[in-house]
Amino acid sequence: MHEYPAGCPAVGATRGASTVQHFDHLHRCRSQRRVGRVEIEAQGGRQLASRYLDVPNMPWETTEFPGIKIKVLYSDDSGITTALFKLDPGAVVPLHEHTALEQTYVIEGTLEDHEGVCGPGQFVWRPAGNQHEAVAPNGAVILGFFLKPNRFAYGEKFFTEEGAR
């Protein structure tokens, strides 16, 4: 539940406004807004409840690739995975093929391949069938979103725990 201070009407008040006007309104009001805590019990129990992760305090797990660590934030049986990767300077992600859409957001450092360089605050996505080898010359921390696991040329896997994706 959001409470908007006087002079800052609720979002519905911008109905009919242009998208730019709507987002400008939200930006002006956001710093003034107080968020009230409302307790909501998910219908259907735990299955529909939000999951909060204390990511800074999660341990980095080693992978089979030298200099690359991972924090799996989400993974399911279909192969959908969201993970943080920490690459040491010079770390290489060996030749692999994306079996479905992959999306990568670079938090720090750079990730480079034969198609380009992605730096802090930048985003790259790759379609299914894309093949590449990536390197982090000065190290990197990246957030990756995968619809299915990659197929590595030499059969390696990022996830080293048995049964993990």
Predicted local distance difference test score (pLDDT) of residue 71: 97
Q: Quote the pTM value.
A: 0.65
Q: Give the H/E segment covering residue 125.
A: strand 123-126
Q: Where are the domains of the chain?
A: 2-35, 55-152
- For 4-56, what is each residue's pLDDT tens digit? 445 554 444 444 544 444 344 444 444 444 444 455 555 666 778 899 999 99
- The residue with greater pLDDT, 156 or 128, is 128
- Per DSSP, 9 falls in state -
CB 144 within 8 A of CB 153: no
| Topology at the third CATH level for domain 55-152 | Jelly Rolls (2.60.120)
- For 50-83, what is each residue's pLDDT tens digit? 999 999 999 999 988 899 999 999 999 888 889 9
To 5 degrees, how large is the angle CA 91–CA 95–CA 99? 120
